[in-house]
Amino acid sequence: MKTVLRILLGFAIISVFFFVSVLAWVWFEDRPLQDSETQQFQIPTGEPLAITAQRLADERLVRNSLVFRLIYQVWQGDGSFPSGTFMVPGNLSARDAAAFFRHAVPLQIKITIPEGWTSSKIAKLLQEKGIVSAKAFLEVVNNPAVLGDPGVDLPSLEGRLFPDTYLFALNTPPVEVAQTFLRNFQRRTSIWTTRYTPQEWMQKIILASIVEREYRAEKEAPLIASVFINRLSAGIPLGSCATIEYILTDIQGRPHPKRIFFVHTEIPSPYNTYLNKGLPPRAIANPGLTALKAVLEPVETDFLYFVVADPAEGLHTFSSQYSQHQKAREAYLNSFVTKG
């Protein structure tokens, strides 16, 4: 009996010693690193906690990855961990770090996409803000099938990156960024979508993108749309300077032209609406609601022509006869202003 008691006592002493040693080790390893500084720290979606914890230790944001994991899993219960980019304060103990990530909100960047921007211009802004690389974003834009997009027959997402104000986390996956734009477009245009077949819808988006790049005064958007609709019905080339600008800037990579010359209207391209009848292969910009509504709820006119009348205000003279148009052109001060 005494032997059993001695064994049990010895075991108890060893257990207490082990428990105290573990507590002492955890206490020691839980202390903050005094030389740690606030850092930007990215956690990819789905990254295992063990890897995240080790990276935190490697970046000297916690002293010991194992201690951090143990404390976080006890604290969080289900072991779930946030993803995104965070500004992690320096000098955190493992417990403080666990508390931080339990309630952390990823860094978010606010961006505003103006009406009429192209996908390449949007991509550049996204990259400048650290949201996603321009190349990765454009790869998704030009391959809508990766989104499981119901409009996969559309050649790209150009035209459906809805101009609006957005909040994105730093280093957001490109598919997620593109889906955010597309969902907003689908939500804002849902009252019209069901009226058209996918092919008809594509044509409406392309036309709206041209209208978007042509109008400056909102009140004129429906009139400009009516000119293009009438020209399409009559089999007359659209003759849109906006498509020439698209060729020069987005296809050829040249600076935005201050004026369009006749030589520019002779550039061989499927986007040249002076040489080709009908619509270009895809949208040339991302239209806002004004241009979309002008095309989707068109006004009826007999106009076939328009030319700038007031470059400063962006107002135009509209004509139904070519002779009228010629007179308006003579009054044109040899300058053409469009949205830059």
Q: 304 with 180: CB under 8 angstroms? A: no
Rg (CA), the chain: 31
Q: Is 322 exposed, middle or buried (0-12, 13-18, 19+ CB in 10 A)?
A: exposed
Question: What pLDDT is stored for residue 257 in this prediction?
Answer: 86
Question: What pLDDT is stored for residue 46 in this prediction?
Answer: 84
Across-strand partners of 110?
A: 167
List of the chain residues with pLDDT < 70: 1-35, 76-79, 149-154, 332-340
Question: What pLDDT is stored for residue 171 in this prediction?
Answer: 85
DSSP character string of 195-261: TS-HHHHHHHHHHHHHHHHH-SSGGGHHHHHHHHHHHHHHT-----HHHHHHIIIIIS-PPPPSS--
Q: Estimate to the nearest angstrom the gap between the alpha carbon of 81 and the chain centroid.
A: 25
Q: Is 76 exposed, middle or buried (0-12, 13-18, 19+ CB in 10 A)?
A: middle
Question: What pLDDT is stored for residue 20 in this prediction?
Answer: 39
CB burial readout 13-41, b (16+ within 10 A) else e: eeeeeeeeeeeeebeebbebeeebeeeeb
Question: What pLDDT is stored for residue 93 in this prediction?
Answer: 87
As given in the structure block, the two tokens for residue 301 are 């006119």
Q: 242 with 338: CB under 8 angstroms? A: yes
DSSP character string of 112-144: E--TT--HHHHHHHHHHTTSS-HHHHHHHHT-G
Distance CA(136)–CA(127), nearest Å, equals 10
Question: What pLDDT is stored for residue 123 in this prediction?
Answer: 98
**Residue 213: closest CA among 191, 238, 241, 178:** 241
Q: 43 with 83: CB under 8 angstroms? A: yes
Question: What pLDDT is stored for residue 74 in this prediction?
Answer: 82
Domains of the chain: 29-103 (3.30.1490.480), 108-188 (3.30.1490), 197-331 (no CATH)
